[in-house]
């Protein structure tokens, strides 16, 4: 199967399964969305959504977050993985927003990535979901599926992002990002996966990849 044909078929299946793509992280505005995305690293969206209501009740703006002690933030997010580090980053990020941007969320990759605790993937999620700027955020889960499906041979998420941006039209990036995440959760687990019966792996994965998965 030609790669362009494969990409088209993958897109059709994703659109059929996920015609709507609700943002899985609860938030009130771009700032609270940024906070939720930062908290979601190495933590489930479900756990983040359990923790953020109380956090946002105390600090729903950068100024409110900056006014808290780091220890207070850590206590509010203690159930989240890496809570001590994330608390420090949230506090410093809020200070930087107040100092550099008068409390507003910047709308460029460069300015977002200059904030404490904000990497390229986090910035990409905020840019595409909060501001509608074309981006294709790639985390380890999307990297795993893109590799399984033969869409990339990249050794890291940076190369995978480049490959997916090249393969999918720019106006599809936002929904493909979420659709692939949803598909991975519901149909394409990392371990003990029957690739032959998978709606996408069945045709997109190479026989070599399928053999390798069976031997894991």
Rg, C-alpha atoms of the chain: 19
Q: Would you state the pLDDT for residue 172?
A: 97
Nearest in space to 77 (alpha carbons), one of 118, 38, 110: 38
Q: What is the pLDDT of residues 166-190, one digit of tens each?
A: 999 999 999 999 999 999 999 999 8
Do residues 47 and 80 touch, judged by C-beta distance below 8 A? yes
* Cα–Cα distance for residue pair 22/177, rounded to 1 Å: 12
Identified catalytic residue from 74, 86, 139, 163: 139
* Cα–Cα distance for residue pair 13/36, rounded to 1 Å: 29
Identified catalytic residue from 74, 86, 121, 210: 121
Residue 139 annotated to the active site: yes
Q: What is the pLDDT of residues 131-168, one digit of tens each?
A: 999 999 999 999 999 999 999 998 899 999 999 999 99
* Cα–Cα distance for residue pair 188/147, rounded to 1 Å: 12
**Among 45-49, 79-83, 212-216, the least confident range:** 212-216
Q: Would you state the pLDDT for residue 192?
A: 87
Do residues 101 and 111 touch, judged by C-beta distance below 8 A? yes
Residue 47 annotated to the active site: no
Q: Is the pLDDT of residue 216 over 80?
A: no
Q: Which domains does the chain have, with CATH numbers?
A: 3-20+137-214 (1.10.1670.10), 30-130 (1.10.340.30)
| pTM for the model | 0.92
* CA distances for 117 relative to 7, 92, 123, 125, angstroms: 33, 9, 10, 14
């Amino acid at each position: 199967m030609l790669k362009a044909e494969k990409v088209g078929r993958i897109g059709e299946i994703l659109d059929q399964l996920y015609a709507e793509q609700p943002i899985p992280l609860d938030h009130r505005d771009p700032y609270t969305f940024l906070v939720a995305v930062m908290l979601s690293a190495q933590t489930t969206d479900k756990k983040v959504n359990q923790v953020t209501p109380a956090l946002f009740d105390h600090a729903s703006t950068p100024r409110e977050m900056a006014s808290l002690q780091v220890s207070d933030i850590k206590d509010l997010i203690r159930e989240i993985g890496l809570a001590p580090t994330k608390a420090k980053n949230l506090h410093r990020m809020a200070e930087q927003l107040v100092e550099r941007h008068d409390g507003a969320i910047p709308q460029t990759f460069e300015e977002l990535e200059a904030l404490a605790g904000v990497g390229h993937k986090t910035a990409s999620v905020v840019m595409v979901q909060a501001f509608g700027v074309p981006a294709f955020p790639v985390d380890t889960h999307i990297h795993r599926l893109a590799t399984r499906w033969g869409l990339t041979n990249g050794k890291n998420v940076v190369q995978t992002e480049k490959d997916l941006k090249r393969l999918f039209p720019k106006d599809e990036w936002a929904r493909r990002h979420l659709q692939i995440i949803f598909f991975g959760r519901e149909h394409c687990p990392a371990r003990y996966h029957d690739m032959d019966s998978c709606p996408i792996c069945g045709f997109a994965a190479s026989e070599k990849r399928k053999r390798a998965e069976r031997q894991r």
